């Protein structure tokens, strides 16, 4: 800006266009104070001057000042109305946006309608966004993108993908990088590898495939849908890799439990001169967690600020607590939690609580559970984890006490479920499922597998049954867990040798993890199981996590 002002000073008689250009530069650089001074000092102003200032105030969050200027303007055009409606929509003030939208003279302006659609989606008012989109007199690419991205953002990825298919078939509209990134994120959210591959085929026919953001979205989709092999191949083929692309692949390796490969890629990234950012370090620390590389993780955490000037965020502290907890250093984890420079995320206490179950530490478990309940008295996580721990040490009275407390606090437990995609159709299972059309065949398959597994040395871990019932019933209940139902269905629904990809909305059960190893050997299948923490790759009786999870 200093250089611009020097050049501006060299103009003998700067005209209005020169002033407007300089004003736009101040606003583009987010120098709102400088823009205000220049606007006030301008010898004359035209509609472009007002619209430039109006748009700048609106985009930079000074919506109150923008409204005041809007009301003072000697005349307005569609740009003026669009700037204000867009500004109020971005600010979440949909009442003011609606009021101006209703008064706008050009009601066929697509920018005006799209601003309202985006605003409603950002505010979570999906129904109103749908109504507005349906009423639009004209739609453009930005309108379609706003709806697709809005659906995905609001947890309605299936609707976003349906709209993407409709858009792909519409005349005169061709998806751009933003469209494809939203659609691929929707595939990731739904674990829909089949549709993700279809989009990849669609992308390969367009020049968009060479755009870094599209390539990164594809890499991320393959990683999150359990196809690490294709993610690696695609990453290797990318012509240009920015830090976001490197982060996606490093995160993918970390999620799938290949910690050493993630760290090797991190070193390669630095060797190619790409500067890591805070997201890179989240991925790297996650890789250390899953590989048990405690010392390397501590070194990375310390180097963030000292070497790369990256200030540790709550996510980094969460990773460090996880790293220490997995290694059994619960006391150090508690010490780190207490030393955090900000209020810990609830997930931090959830991580500690989960580790307490593994290491049978009731003291720290009760500490973590108390903190979790204080932060979220109606969240089921703390109660369930604590009840699990009490059940594991046969303290059934305490299990009952925790359940009673859940009732008193009106806590609703999120039911665990698993799902698998077969021939483009998602099949969902809950523990002790009673509704699937092929349940008899699934139970028959599991019964045969249970016999074979026991012959090979499998011993059911009854600690994962919270009910105080007989051992025989506990074994039966274990064999009806959602993960096992989904795996069995995959086995009877696909040809021998087909890789199974199963997903779960909660952490995988320890007994199911053990059983999946036996099943992979018996059936000679690769089984990939993703839970909320990571991917487990089961092959020939082993797991990629090395039982460190």
Higher-scoring residue by pLDDT: 244, 362: 244
175 CB-contact burial (10 Å; exposed 0-12 / middle 13-18 / buried 19+)? buried
Query: Is the model's pLDDT at 372 over the cut of 90?
Result: no
Nearest Cα to Cα of residue 488 among 537, 531, 442, 434: 442
CATH topology of domain 1-105+115-124: 1.25.40
Confidence band (pLDDT; 50, 70, 90) for 203? confident
| Non-local CB neighbours of 393 within 8 Å, separated by 6+ positions | 360, 362
- The whole-model pTM stands at 0.83
Each residue of 307-348: pLDDT tens digit?
999 999 999 999 999 999 988 999 999 999 999 999 888 889
Complete DSSP assignment for 102-136: HH-S-TT-HHHHHHHHHHHHHTT-HHHHHHHHHH-
**Any idea where the domains of the chain sit in the sequence?**
1-105+115-124, 431-543
Each residue of 122-138: pLDDT tens digit?
999 999 999 999 999 99
Percent of the chain with pLDDT over 90: 71
pLDDT of 468: 67
Query: Is the model's pLDDT at 457 over the cut of 90?
Result: yes
Q: What is the mean pLDDT of residues 172-196?
A: 92
Query: Is the model's pLDDT at 164 over the cut of 70?
Result: yes
Confidence band (pLDDT; 50, 70, 90) for 6? confident
Each residue of 284-294: pLDDT tens digit?
999 998 888 99
431: three-class secondary structure by DSSP: coil
Average pLDDT of every residue of the chain: 91
| Non-local CB neighbours of 443 within 8 Å, separated by 6+ positions | 480
Higher-scoring residue by pLDDT: 406, 224: 224
Confidence band (pLDDT; 50, 70, 90) for 37? very high
Each residue of 49-94: pLDDT tens digit?
999 999 999 999 899 999 999 999 999 999 999 999 999 999 999 9
427: three-class secondary structure by DSSP: strand
Confidence band (pLDDT; 50, 70, 90) for 270? very high
Confidence band (pLDDT; 50, 70, 90) for 282? very high
| Non-local CB neighbours of 112 within 8 Å, separated by 6+ positions | 78, 81, 82, 85, 101, 104, 106
């Amino acid at each position: 800006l200093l250089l611009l002002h020097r050049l501006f000073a060299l103009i003998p008689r700067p005209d209005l266009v020169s002033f407007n250009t300089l004003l736009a530069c101040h606003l583009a650089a987010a120098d709102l104070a400088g823009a205000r001074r220049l606007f006030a000092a301008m010898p004359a102003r035209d509609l472009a001057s007002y619209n430039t200032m109006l748009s700048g105030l609106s985009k930079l969050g000074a919506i109150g000042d923008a409204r005041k200027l809007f009301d003072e303007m000697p005349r307005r055009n569609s740009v003026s109305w669009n700037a204000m409606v867009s500004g109020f929509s971005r600010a979440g003030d949909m009442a003011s946006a609606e009021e101006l939208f209703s008064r706008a003279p050009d009601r066929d302006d697509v920018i005006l309608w799209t601003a309202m659609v985006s605003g409603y989606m950002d505010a979570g008012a999906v129904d109103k966004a749908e109504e507005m989109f349906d009423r639009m007199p004209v739609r453009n690419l930005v309108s379609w993108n706003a709806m697709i991205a809005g659906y995905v953002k609001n947890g309605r990825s299936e609707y976003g993908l349906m709209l993407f298919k409709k858009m792909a078939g519409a005349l005169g509209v061709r998806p751009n990088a933003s469209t494809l990134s939203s659609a691929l994120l929707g595939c990731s959210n739904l674990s829909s590898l089949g549709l993700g591959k279809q989009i990849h085929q669609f992308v390969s026919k367009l020049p968009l495939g060479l755009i870094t953001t599209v390539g990164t979205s594809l890499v991320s989709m393959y990683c999150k849908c359990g196809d690490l092999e294709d993610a690696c191949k695609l990453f290797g083929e990318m012509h240009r890799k920015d830090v976001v692309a490197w982060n996606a692949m490093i995160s993918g390796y970390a999620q799938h439990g290949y910690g050493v490969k993630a760290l090797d890629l991190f070193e390669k990234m630095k060797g190619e001169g790409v500067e890591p950012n805070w997201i890179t370090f989240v991925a790297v620390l996650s890789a250390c967690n899953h590989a048990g590389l405690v010392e390397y993780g501590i070194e990375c955490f310390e180097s963030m600020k000292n070497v790369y000037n990256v200030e540790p965020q709550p996510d980094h502290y969460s990773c460090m607590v996880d790293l220490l907890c997995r290694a059994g250093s619960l006391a150090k984890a508690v010490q780190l939690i207490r030393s955090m420079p900000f209020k810990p995320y609830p997930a931090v206490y959830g991580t500690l609580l989960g580790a307490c179950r593994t290491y049978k530490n009731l003291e720290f478990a009760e500490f973590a559970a108390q903190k979790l309940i204080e932060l979220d008295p109606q969240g089921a996580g703390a109660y369930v984890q604590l009840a699990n721990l009490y059940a594991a040490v046969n303290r059934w009275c305490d299990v009952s006490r925790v359940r009673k407390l859940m009732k008193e606090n009106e806590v609703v437990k999120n039911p665990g479920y698993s799902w698998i995609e077969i021939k483009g159709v998602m099949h969902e299972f809950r523990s002790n499922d009673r509704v699937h059309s092929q349940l008899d065949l699934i139970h028959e398959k599991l019964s045969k597998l249970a016999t074979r597994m026991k012959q090979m040395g499998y011993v059911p871990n009854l600690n994962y049954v919270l009910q105080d019932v007989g051992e025989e019933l506990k074994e039966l209940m274990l064999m009806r867990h959602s993960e096992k139902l989904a795996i069995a269905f995959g086995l009877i629904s696909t040809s021998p040798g087909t890789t199974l990809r199963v997903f779960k909305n909660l952490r995988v059960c320890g007994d199911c993890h053990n059983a999946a190893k036996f099943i992979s050997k018996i059936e000679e299948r690769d089984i990939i199981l993703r839970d909320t923490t990571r991917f487990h790759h089961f092959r020939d009786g082993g797991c990629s996590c090395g039982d460190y999870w």
